[in-house]
Structure 1
Amino acid sequence: MLYPRMTSSRMVFELNGIWDFKLLKKKEERDAGRRLKDSMPMPVPSSYNDIYPGRDFADHVGDMVYQRTFTVTNPVKQGRLFLRFGAVTHTAEVWLNGELLGSHKGGFLPFSFEISKQSRVGENLLTVFVNNIVDYTTLPCGRVVEEEFPGLEQRTVNLPNFDFYNYSGIMRPVWIYTTPDVYIEDIEVYGKMDGSVYWKIQAEGESADKAKVTVRVLDAEGRCVYTGTGYSGSGRVEAPRLWDTQDPYLYRLWVRLQSKSGNVDEYTEIFGFREVSIRDCRILLNEKPVYLKGFGKHEEGGSRGRGTDMALMTKDLGLLKWIGANSFRTSHYPNSEEMMQLCDRMGILVIDESPAVGLNTGFTATGLLGGNPKGTWETLRTKEHHKHVMEEMVKRDKNHPCVIAWSAANEPASQEDGAKEYFAPLVALTKEKDIQKRPVTIVTYEGSTPKTCKVAELCDFLVLNRYRGWYDTEGNLKGAAVKLKEELEGFHVRCPEKPIMLGEYGADTIAGLHDLNARLFSEEYQTEFMRAYGEVFDSLPYIAGEHVWVFADFATAENIKRVDGNKKGIFTRDRRPKQAAYFLKSRWEEIRNPY
């Protein structure tokens, strides 16, 4: 799906701003064709939860409605008109002028509707019904529980199977944009180290298959370095400047489509020449080993929750550069398109993760063990939706040079029977849809050991989440290091050709809490924790990276195990460094590799 960009043949208009908003009660009458009554202002994009005070407001379970008007002019109606949402969490039902456009399930990927017929010149009424429930059919997963207490009304509670707050709403930008009657629907482009460039164009409209397609590769200065024709093809750019973390050089593929009637559409897609591969327990970027240094990272902060915030995401990448990191994982959902574009530009490597978190019926609302396992793969009803999400994610992010790998899930019940049968088709589908055949992984947790894991052989590289020294062996970092090393060695024996990296490791740390003896929750303990893990990594030649959990403190479901959220951040929620940030900065600057 192409990102909305203004071109010589397209107009783009943002519908961001203040919308009308209302939480809906169960069975409350819904009328999409009338203006809302008793509504309140709500910023879009944002998560709705923290905008107004009130526990019942923030923790509302079920439906809500967003509404606004926009004006369409005669010139806008000359071709086709589309409505596009960056993401609505978790399901959306969209109406225009009282007519249903359609619905979308999945809270972290874009979707669009053509509104050429439903829109009218003048004022148009746009209504979006949003549902925030997570259950055993959604990604991420959760449970809906009806609580009853004597003398009180029945209360519906939504318990996530994951350890982050269930922010929801229209969380990413909304646009309308125009195209000609025959238009470019999608572009796939891939540039290799030797200058080979491959493209595939998808067009829509009457007799689109008979249209003339011209492509040009433009360098960063706008010079044309290759010209070709056809809906698909390949060519070569002489001596391309490769994209990497030190020199994230970007090219553009300019595409011109001309229909038999003379209709013209133009679009420019950004890409880079670079290759990702795996060999001899190493992840290679442009045939050079790259050691991944960075974090698991939530897209969250302040009062906007997970709403798109260009200033915050730019600051975050600046902090990644400052601390010496070169990568992060989009834990635990695809980040915004704007973030991916910034990573392309700033040379940040990304493990792009689907929202498949909580695929474990033994997890509780804070992501910790202690639920009621009943056989995860017999209980969940996510398989078909998961396939659709992987297709959507690859389709959206396929051209980004920053994306070096795909993660199909985080901490599923990969030790249970049925896990291999569930994930094998997903891994195969992901590779089928990706022209670059980038590595695919499944991030596993401590319950999935070298002896019990059912999915290790499906992964191109192993990403392990381990908390020795925190959730077990707490306070005993020497013992934790022994257990960690033993487990890493066990996985290497089982999969001797696969790179292994830590996808999560960390300790909750209260900013400003100091202790001479480096006790739990102190900044000193977090620093010593990082040091102990680093020594283990340095002793094992097949470790390909280290992603600390977590970049910054973040909100979670309310629970006595979480004091004001998860405090494992190396930075506070408002992006102030803890002591461990300076240790990691020193460590990562000393780890010398090509990237």
Structure 2
Amino acid sequence: MLAAAQGYAPRPQERVSDARISTPDAEPASAPLTNLPGRKRRSLNGKWQALVDGYAAGMGDWKAVWKDRTATGKSQFFEYGFDDSVTLDVPGDFNTQRPELTWLEGSVWYRKAFEHDAAAAAREERRLFVHFGAANYRADVFLNGEKLGSHEGGFTPFQFELTERVKPGENRLLVHVNNERRKDGIPAQGFDWFNYGGLTRDVALIETPKTYIQDYSLQLAPDSLRRVDGWVQLAGTAPRQPVRVRIRELGVDVRAQAGADGRAPLHFEASFALWSPAQPKLYRVEVSTPEESLQEDIGFRSIAVHGDELLLNGKPLFLRGVNVHEEIDGRRAHSEADAQRMLEQAKQMGANFVRLAHYPYNEHLLRLADRLGLLLWEEIPVYQGIDFAAAGMQGKLEAMLAEMIGRDRNRASVIVWGIANETTPGPARNAALTALAQQARRLDPARLISAAFYGPGFHGRALTVADPLIASLDVVGINEYFGWYTPWPVEPEQAEWKPFGKPLLITEFGAEARYGHHGANDVANAWNEEFQAEFYRKQLRMFARIPFLRGTAPWVMTDFRSPVRMHPLQSGYNRKGLLSERGERKLAWQVIHDYYLEVAR
């Protein structure tokens, strides 16, 4: 969420000053630009100078790291200094780059110097933005000692305009990142994954014309396999400009006029080769104005529901899925190579679908899924423990959802926007998530809306799914762990799922096993590979009895770090992976692989 500067509230024993930052109010941040790869950009990735500030003391007036001052005379003294500080790689989490930062939940300051030809940019009437792929969890951004603004949320992009603030020659960009878990955060204080902090995704300088293409939506209309109902959004001082969209391969050449609000509606038809996992066809699309031209590879496909059927391009679809976390080799995944490795693991298992749990992932991965033909569920981290009634919470939820959809609305691979995972019904929660579902439909009517609920209730042999939010969703996700967290109340072959008129996805099911740990397959020998494999066999026998089941996603592809996992066989990892943290296949991997081969026939 983009917001004006807000000071932290240090814990009482850490309070260094009651004074807040005394710089002028930061200007409002602009909406993040989309299609970064298609724009004129300069990467700021690489080594950044860094200072550790566990208590966020540098945000006040005492230390005032934000002023980024350097002593110039014998009488000057500042109790901090970047020149002799350590360096950290950006992108990358700070916890895994230096041993002393492993468990840090606090503040780190990053500094990067860059040169800019401000005179040339002014002559050419070019604007300059600094764009962050993500920073976990809160970031405060300064340029040459002046505050640009703040952003809350660890997994979505944000940017600030530098045009009027940048100076000729060297400029110094300073970013304060704090990953402390917050009661009023999204997610809140308790979550089952490692809290990787820092500048975890790409940072770049973006140049645009004075009036630029901010965003666009080019996807099939929900009721058509030929028609695009789209738009192009311009931003700047002269929004009334002609807009042109071309897809040369299809002979599409459409022109429109943007209005005073910068919005240019677009409608056209074409004989698309529809995108699908079997044929992930992408077209080179050109979007242009008299001042700017962008190119992007986009696929066109339809996703819909009809009763309890799930339809891709009008044909029934079964999602052979798996959950993943954005982690690789015990660190936050951040590179295209990381994304390639994660998605290839899913394809090797026979998956056509990946649930990105429990937050938006790096844009690299979504663009790669477009090319590889993998369907995606993408969700915001509305996780257990969210305080939906907290002041300002609804605004945070809506901003985070808008940032996710804004970045990825043109990715053919994304078929589901997930708005929550395992939240408890109640008046505040129900109202908040109903509003989020409505917002998602307004922002993107071309995709499905879902949420993952806790497991079903049993009444005799009947399993029931009851939640007031179901009425607002297109498909229903259920996380059930019969045989692990919950004993089987009946044998799998006796379970009878009551229909509720919508497609059902089993969005999580799994049991823990440490790779190489073997023994009997009964519950008394949990943590064995044999027990985990038998757990999956029993689940699959139950799934065969659900006529409205439209997809499954085991939890989880790979063992991942989680400080709340304290069993000796866990050693700080959630061990539900079908693969070990090193990519070794457990026995259960083969069970799911064989099942997906069977249902794919």
Deviation at 1:6, TM superposition (A): 6.1
Among residues 100, 105, 110, which one is paired with 1:61 in the alignment? 105
Answer whether contact 1:257 1:266 (CA < 8 A) is retained: yes
Amino acid at match of 1:422: A
Runs of 4+ in 1 over 4 A off after TM superposition: 4-7, 74-77, 376-381, 477-480
Answer whether contact 1:215 1:256 (CA < 8 A) is retained: yes
Could you tell me which residue of structure 2 aligns to residue 539 of structure 1? Answer: 545
Among residues 433, 437, 440, which one is paired with 1:430 in the alignment? 440
CA offset digits 1:218-253 (Å, max 9, x no partner): 33xxx6433333343444444210000010101233
Q: 1:550 to 1:380 in 2, by over 3 A?
A: farther
CA offset digits 1:501-530 (Å, max 9, x no partner): 111100111001112445311111111111
CA offset digits 1:283-312 (Å, max 9, x no partner): 110011111111111011225x22412212
Answer whether contact 1:185 1:202 (CA < 8 A) is retained: yes
Answer whether contact 2:192 2:564 (CA < 8 A) is retained: no
The answer as to 2:294 corresponding to 1:299 is no
Deviation at 1:377, TM superposition (A): 4.6
Matches within 5 A, 1:149-548: 161-192=190-221, 194-209=225-240, 211-219=241-249, 224-231=251-258, 232-258=264-290, 264-303=291-330, 305-359=331-385, 377-378=388-389, 382-414=393-425, 416-436=426-446, 438-446=447-455, 450=464, 453-473=467-487, 479=490, 481=492, 485-486=495-496, 489-490=497-498, 492=499, 495=500, 497-517=501-521, 519-548=525-554
Matches within 5 A, 1:16-55: 16-26=45-55, 27-28=57-58, 29-32=63-66, 33-34=68-69, 36=82, 38-54=84-100
Among residues 70, 92, 105, which one is paired with 2:114 in the alignment? 70
- Does the residue aligned with 2:192 lie in a helix, a strand or coil? coil
Could you tell me which residue of structure 2 aligns to residue 151 of structure 1? Answer: none
The answer as to 2:111 corresponding to 1:101 is no
Could you tell me which residue of structure 1 aligns to residue 21 of structure 2? Answer: none
Q: 1:451 to 1:577 in 2, by over 3 A?
A: closer
Could you tell me which residue of structure 2 aligns to residue 369 of structure 1? Answer: none
Question: What is the CA–CA distance in structure 2 between the aligned matches of 1:234 and 1:195, rounded to whole Å?
Answer: 14
CA offset digits 1:164-223 (Å, max 9, x no partner): 1111110000000211112111111113553212331111222222x222221233xxx6
More divergent stretch after superposition (530-539 vs 34-43): 34-43
Question: What is the CA–CA distance in structure 2 between the aligned matches of 1:381 and 1:18, rounded to whole Å?
Answer: 35
Deviation at 1:136, TM superposition (A): 2.5
Question: What is the CA–CA distance in structure 1 between the aligned matches of 2:427 and 2:160, rounded to whole Å?
Answer: 40
Question: What is the CA–CA distance in structure 1 between the aligned matches of 2:592 and 2:455, rounded to whole Å?
Answer: 24
Q: 1:247 to 1:166 in 2, by over 3 A?
A: same
Could you tell me which residue of structure 2 aligns to residue 564 of structure 1? Answer: 572
Answer whether contact 1:46 1:306 (CA < 8 A) is retained: yes
Q: 1:581 to 1:37 in 2, by over 3 A?
A: same
Question: What is the CA–CA distance in structure 2 between the aligned matches of 1:498 and 1:403, rounded to whole Å?
Answer: 19
Deviation at 1:481, TM superposition (A): 2.8
Answer whether contact 2:324 2:558 (CA < 8 A) is retained: yes
Amino acid at match of 2:381: P
RMSD: 2.2
Deviation at 1:359, TM superposition (A): 3.1
Q: 1:517 to 1:317 in 2, by over 3 A?
A: closer
Could you tell me which residue of structure 1 aligns to residue 591 of structure 2? Answer: 583
* Higher RCO by CA contacts (8 Å cutoff, separation 6 or greater): 1
- Does the residue aligned with 1:508 lie in a helix, a strand or coil? coil
- Does the residue aligned with 2:541 lie in a helix, a strand or coil? helix
More divergent stretch after superposition (92-101 vs 266-275): 266-275
Question: What is the CA–CA distance in structure 1 between the aligned matches of 2:142 and 2:588, rounded to whole Å?
Answer: 49
Amino acid at match of 1:338: H
Question: What is the CA–CA distance in structure 2 between the aligned matches of 1:481 and 1:418, rounded to whole Å?
Answer: 36
Could you tell me which residue of structure 2 aligns to residue 148 of structure 1? Answer: none
Q: 1:257 to 1:162 in 2, by over 3 A?
A: same
Answer whether contact 1:556 1:566 (CA < 8 A) is retained: yes
Amino acid at match of 2:451: I
The answer as to 2:111 corresponding to 1:80 is no
Question: What is the CA–CA distance in structure 2 between the aligned matches of 1:452 and 1:379, rounded to whole Å?
Answer: 26
How many residues matched?
534
Tell me the percent identity: 29
CA offset digits 1:255-301 (Å, max 9, x no partner): 1212xxxxx11112332221110013121100111111111110112
Deviation at 1:559, TM superposition (A): 4.3
Q: 1:552 to 1:218 in 2, by over 3 A?
A: farther
More divergent stretch after superposition (399-408 vs 249-258): 249-258
Q: 1:534 to 1:14 in 2, by over 3 A?
A: same
Amino acid at match of 1:396: R
Q: 1:275 to 1:234 in 2, by over 3 A?
A: same
TM-score w.r.t. the length of structure 2 is: 0.84
Question: What is the CA–CA distance in structure 2 between the aligned matches of 1:82 and 1:346, rounded to whole Å?
Answer: 31
Q: 1:185 to 1:448 in 2, by over 3 A?
A: farther
Q: 1:541 to 1:52 in 2, by over 3 A?
A: same
Q: 1:527 to 1:184 in 2, by over 3 A?
A: same
Answer whether contact 1:255 1:267 (CA < 8 A) is retained: yes
Question: What is the CA–CA distance in structure 1 between the aligned matches of 2:545 and 2:83, rounded to whole Å?
Answer: 64
Deviation at 1:411, TM superposition (A): 0.7
Answer whether contact 2:184 2:390 (CA < 8 A) is retained: no
Q: 1:53 to 1:394 in 2, by over 3 A?
A: same
Q: 1:359 to 1:541 in 2, by over 3 A?
A: same
Could you tell me which residue of structure 2 aligns to residue 573 of structure 1? Answer: 581
More divergent stretch after superposition (133-142 vs 515-524): 515-524
Answer whether contact 2:566 2:572 (CA < 8 A) is retained: no
TM-score w.r.t. the length of structure 1 is: 0.85
Answer whether contact 1:70 1:124 (CA < 8 A) is retained: yes
Answer whether contact 1:466 1:504 (CA < 8 A) is retained: yes
Answer whether contact 1:4 1:175 (CA < 8 A) is retained: no
Amino acid at match of 1:465: N
Question: What is the CA–CA distance in structure 2 between the aligned matches of 1:287 and 1:421, rounded to whole Å?
Answer: 33
The answer as to 2:140 corresponding to 1:129 is no
Answer whether contact 1:553 1:573 (CA < 8 A) is retained: yes
Question: What is the CA–CA distance in structure 2 between the aligned matches of 1:215 and 1:451, rounded to whole Å?
Answer: 45
Answer whether contact 2:54 2:104 (CA < 8 A) is retained: no
Amino acid at match of 2:296: E
Unaligned segments of structure 1, at least 5 residues: 143-160, 259-263, 361-375
Question: What is the CA–CA distance in structure 1 between the aligned matches of 2:37 and 2:452, rounded to whole Å?
Answer: 38
- Does the residue aligned with 1:533 lie in a helix, a strand or coil? helix
Q: 1:294 to 1:194 in 2, by over 3 A?
A: closer
